[in-house]
Amino acid sequence: MVKVEGTLEEMYELFGDARQMVKSAKQSVVSGKKVAAKAKRPLNSWQKYVKANSNKFKYKSGAKKGQINLKAMSRAFKKGRKKK
């Protein structure tokens, strides 16, 4: 940090313009137009499968009770998938 000494009037002369610059920059940012967001890419088949609640396999007992069993979901997804 730099130590600046002087009277209040001298301080305003040094930093007064900087304060107005910051204010004007903030106002221009706020008043500026928003940039359009990029288009989201579509979900692939696995992501759609995982998203659907009807396909979710859950642990019924043990330490992971209530959590999603992704290993079982993966097996079911691969079996149900048609090979090209």
The more confident residue out of 76 and 31 is 76
pLDDT band at residue 62 using 50, 70 and 90 as cut-offs: very high
pLDDT band at 84 (very low <50, low <70, confident <90, very high): very low
- The pLDDT tens digits for 5-49 are 888 788 777 777 666 777 777 777 666 667 778 899 999 999 999
What is residue 82's predicted lDDT score, i.e. its pLDDT?
Answer: 54
| Nearest residue to 48 via CA among 23, 80, 17, 19 | 80
pLDDT-based confidence at residue 81 (cuts at 50, 70, 90): low
pLDDT score of 69:
95
Alpha carbons 51 and 77: distance in angstroms, whole number = 12
Contact 73, 49 (CB under 8 A): yes
Alpha carbons 81 and 7: distance in angstroms, whole number: 78
